[in-house]
């Protein structure tokens, strides 16, 4: 059976974030009914931050068994720990700090990518995170069985820190790549590779704004992955594009789905 792809459209960013948060609890709750642990990969970006805040503000937050959740990141900016531009800082502010403070989530289950003020250089940091992923995976597998992986998409079609025509989008091994000379600041980053991303069962791509519409249109039309990285993203079970109406401007109507499908 081929993986399923859905395109869901909401009136605005607030509606998008609220819908993703509700579906998050439905999906992870269902996973935890069948598995002892759920592995989730977070993303950064403005929309990603709004979604994490909506997850944190949800009335369902305290009913989820966070002690059975392992959290990872798809990419990170090579900045000092706690820097406001880091993706994990965004997640702390919107969701994680509250969970940890209330004892709902142990810090050991939050797998942060290394920071620039730590003991490792950029290449060693990539290797360290790849090793951490491997240690949490089933024997012989390079990464855990990611149940849900979030991604944002840039106006140029980049995902995580895999940019068009850059070396990172071409890397197949290892699972984590050191990124230099990024076309958007900061220039140094860490990122999962595309094969690692595509090992997730469910990939949720969350886009808002008219500047995202052209890249999304190209991706859905089957563009070359090196030129439009988002075109190469595919979850093993399901891939869902969550869009506001501006981002959906170039999506053919026949690709749109109703927001009633179990994720």
Write the DSSP string, the chain.
Answer: -PPEEEEEEESSHHHHHHHHHHHHHHHHHHHHTT-S-EEEEE--HHHHHHHHHHHHHSTTGGGS-GGGEEEEESEEES--TT-TTSHHHHHIIIIIHHHHHTTSS-GGGB-PPP-TTSS--HHHHHHHHHHHHHHTSPTT-SS--EEEEEE---TT--BTTB-TTSGGGG--SSSEEEE-S-SSSSS-EEEE-HHHHTT-SEEEEEE-SGGGHHHHHHHHTT--TTTSGGGG---SSEEEEEEETTTTTTS-GGGB--TTS--
The pLDDT tens digits for 168-200 are 999 999 999 999 999 999 999 999 999 999 999
Query: Would the pLDDT of 133 be above 80?
Result: yes
Query: Would the pLDDT of 161 be above 50?
Result: yes
Query: Would the pLDDT of 261 be above 80?
Result: no
Query: Tokens representing 22?
Result: 């509700």
pLDDT attached to residue 253: 82
The pLDDT tens digits for 11-57 are 999 999 999 999 999 999 999 999 999 999 999 999 999 999 999 99
What Å distances lie between residue 176 and 65, 66, 193, CA to CA? Answer: 29, 26, 6
pLDDT attached to residue 262: 44
Indicate the range of 1-15, 97-111, 181-195, 197-211 predicted with least confidence.
1-15
pLDDT attached to residue 155: 96
pLDDT attached to residue 255: 83
Range 132-150 average pLDDT? 97
pLDDT attached to residue 259: 66
Query: Would the pLDDT of 92 be above 80?
Result: yes
Query: Would the pLDDT of 143 be above 50?
Result: yes
Query: Would the pLDDT of 90 be above 80?
Result: yes
> Mean pLDDT of all residues in the chain?
95
Domains along the chain with CATH numbers? 4-255 (3.40.50.1360)
pLDDT attached to residue 1: 58
């Amino acid at each position: 059976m081929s993986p399923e792809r859905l395109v869901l459209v909401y009136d605005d960013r607030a509606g998008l974030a609220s819908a993703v948060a509700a579906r998050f609890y439905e999906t992870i709750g269902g996973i935890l009914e069948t598995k002892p642990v759920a592995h989730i990969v977070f993303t950064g970006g403005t929309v990603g931050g709004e979604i994490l805040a909506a997850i944190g503000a949800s009335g369902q937050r305290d009913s989820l068994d966070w002690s059975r959740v392992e959290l990872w990141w798809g990419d990170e900016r090579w900045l000092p720990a706690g820097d406001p531009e880091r993706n994990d800082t965004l997640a702390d502010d919107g969701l994680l700090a509250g969970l940890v403070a209330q004892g709902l989530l142990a810090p050991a289950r939050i797998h942060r990518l290394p920071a620039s003020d730590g003991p490792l250089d950029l290449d060693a940091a990539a290797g360290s995170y790849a090793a951490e992923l491997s240690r949490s995976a089933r024997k012989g597998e390079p990464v855990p069985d990611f149940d849900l992986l979030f991604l944002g998409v840039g106006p140029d079609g980049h995902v995580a820190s895999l940019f068009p025509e850059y070396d990172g989008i071409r890397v197949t091994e290892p699972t984590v790549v050191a990124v230099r000379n990024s076309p958007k600041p900061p220039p140094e980053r860490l990122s999962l590779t595309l094969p690692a991303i595509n090992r997730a069962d469910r990939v949720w791509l969350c886009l808002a704004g008219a500047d995202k519409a052209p890249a999304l249109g190209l991706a859905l039309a089957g563009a070359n992955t090196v030129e439009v990285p988002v075109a190469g993203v595919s979850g093993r079970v399901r891939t869902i594009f969550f869009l506001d109406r501006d981002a959906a401007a170039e999506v053919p109507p026949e690709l749109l789905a109703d927001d009633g499908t179990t994720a």
